[in-house]
Structure 1
Amino acid sequence: MNDLLAMLSTAGPLAGGWGIHGLWMRRCVSAARRDPLSGLWTRAPFERRAARLLARNPHTAVVLVDLDGFKALNDTFGHAAGDAAIRSVGGSFAGALAGQPGAVAARLGGDEFAAAVPLADPVSLPWLLSGLHDEITAPFRHGGRDLVLGASIGAALSSDLFPDVRRAGPESLSVLLRLADEAMYAAKRAGGGWNYPGATEQRCTTAAGRRAGRPGTHAPHREEAA
């Protein structure tokens, strides 16, 4: 009996130590899957989570974002300003998707980002894209000045291609990413803003709820990297 109590008293701290170690390891693994600047998922964990969303939700928006003027900002204000911009975009995704339970967002690399967002109703897609665009193109503070970047955003809606969610197989995400990519480049060719198949010109060329000189632009007194 005494031997058993002695063994248990020795095993207790050891088990506790292993529990703490396991928690630490899980946190390390999770951190390795996150982009260190933006705090968003990296590509591989994003794709796994996005694929699960597509298999469970009838209306999932797949969104691609490319920053406009990012290289010019780096060249003009230095790489620290570029890092600040990436951190700001990470916060922008968090703000824009705060009311979208289950949404996942990622930094794919450089100044390219993605999100998969389950929607209760597909008609809310324009408001989602407009809100995300407004968040990303809002001024961010660096070096004592307000800096602004533009953004080109493209999206594709799963229910437009896969009305029956049960038929959304592993290839669905790649198809939707390709369509979102095409929509994003269409927005970029138009000067920025957001776009998706079926979007009207008026939807693409509004910024912060008002007409702009070109999509994604802001008031001229703010410094913007062109």
Structure 2
Amino acid sequence: MNSAARLPGRISPNALLITTAAVPLTGWAVHAVALHKRLAATRRDPLTGLLRRDAYTARARRLLARHGDDVTLVMVDADHFKQINDSLGHAAGDAVLAAFGARLTAWAGPRAAVGRLGGDEFAVVLELASDRRAQRLEQLVRMLHTPVVLDDGRTVDVAASIGAATPDVLGTRVLGTRDLTALQRMADAALYDGKHTGRAVLATRQHATVPSINGRRIGRPGTATWGRAA
């Protein structure tokens, strides 16, 4: 009997060629998926899941170009973070940072650029109309001042300093990195005006001209604030 007749099904030469050729393609596909995952991981902070600085900057620039004056940039610093690390341990500090990342993501929504710039410093760029700005900033203050519950049941009181800036204060449509930097500097200056006050501070035109060192302001211009009393 022909040996081929004993097989449950015969594989044609063409099918065999296609199957053989598909093996390296499948290998490359797996490699491509793994590479994509590694590249995606480099865009995200492993602790908070937020965008790293470069990825945040690229997304923020796109939002600024697309939405112009309807964009708000928010800078956030965790208050008394070193004290949390020193008194409760670095695991507790990591839990607080992760909680802040989750809360910022929930507050900003999926279309925003939410980044961890380093340490306990965060930045958000989102589309936010002026008539909703005060309400949303008040909401953010409440979210970031809600205690964090650790895995072991302990509760950590947390707080944050928040500064915000909008393109209309600059008097020009924001389109590039240079303008993003200017907005971040203004929001940072506003943040330091409201440091440890429990309020979000919206930058005014005065913040655009405040002398600064490494983005940290010197002096105290007028401010508009929203949020909790200190």
Deviation at 1:30, TM superposition (A): 0.6
Aligned partner of 2:144 in structure 1 is 136
The equivalences for 1:94-109 within 5 A come to: 94-98=105-109, 101-109=110-118
Q: Secondary structure at the match of 1:116?
A: strand
Gaps of 5+ in 1: 215-226
Q: Decide which of 192, 200, 205 is 2:198's aligned counterpart.
A: 192
Q: Decide which of 40, 56, 60 is 2:71's aligned counterpart.
A: 60
Deviation at 1:135, TM superposition (A): 1.4
AA aligned opposite 1:15: L
Q: Relative to 1, partners in 2 of residues 1:73 and 1:164: Cα closer, same or farther, differing over 3 Å? A: closer
Q: Which one is further off, 102-111 or 128-137?
A: 128-137
Q: Relative to 1, partners in 2 of residues 1:57 and 1:162: Cα closer, same or farther, differing over 3 Å? A: farther
Aligned partner of 1:223 in structure 2 is none
Q: Secondary structure at the match of 1:129?
A: helix
| CA distance, structure 2, for counterparts of residue 200 and residue 44 of structure 1 | 30
Q: With the length of structure 2 as denominator, give the TM-score of the two structures.
A: 0.80
Does the 8 A contact of 2:79 with 2:159 survive in 1? yes
Deviation at 1:97, TM superposition (A): 1.6
Q: Relative to 1, partners in 2 of residues 1:9 and 1:149: Cα closer, same or farther, differing over 3 Å? A: same
AA aligned opposite 1:112: E
| CA distance, structure 1, for counterparts of residue 24 and residue 134 of structure 2 | 55
Does the 8 A contact of 1:95 with 1:135 survive in 2? no
Deviation at 1:46, TM superposition (A): 0.3
Would you say how many aligned residue pairs link Structure 1 and Structure 2? 200
Does the 8 A contact of 2:78 with 2:160 survive in 1? yes
Aligned-residue Cα RMSD (Å) equals 1.9
Which structure has the higher relative contact order (CA within 8 Å, separation 6+)?
1
| CA distance, structure 1, for counterparts of residue 63 and residue 223 of structure 2 | 27
Deviation at 1:49, TM superposition (A): 0.7
Does the 8 A contact of 1:64 with 1:114 survive in 2? yes
Q: Decide which of 162, 166, 176 is 1:169's aligned counterpart.
A: 176
Q: Secondary structure at the match of 1:96?
A: helix
The equivalences for 1:1-226 within 5 A come to: 4-58=14-68, 59-98=70-109, 101-119=110-128, 121-142=129-150, 143-164=152-173, 168-188=175-195, 191-198=197-204, 203-204=225-226, 206-207=227-228, 212=229, 214=230
Q: Which one is further off, 125-134 or 71-80?
A: 125-134
Deviation at 1:13, TM superposition (A): 2.9
Q: Secondary structure at the match of 1:171?
A: helix
**4+ residue segments displaced more than 6 Å:** none
Does the 8 A contact of 1:60 with 1:159 survive in 2? no
Q: With the length of structure 1 as denominator, give the TM-score of the two structures.
A: 0.81
Deviation at 1:158, TM superposition (A): 1.6
Deviation at 1:162, TM superposition (A): 4.7
Deviation at 1:6, TM superposition (A): 2.9
Among the aligned pairs, what percent are the same residue? 37
| CA distance, structure 2, for counterparts of residue 134 and residue 78 of structure 1 | 25
Q: Relative to 1, partners in 2 of residues 1:68 and 1:159: Cα closer, same or farther, differing over 3 Å? A: same
Deviation at 1:63, TM superposition (A): 0.9
| CA distance, structure 2, for counterparts of residue 4 and residue 174 of structure 1 | 60
| CA distance, structure 2, for counterparts of residue 30 and residue 128 of structure 1 | 30
AA aligned opposite 2:119: G
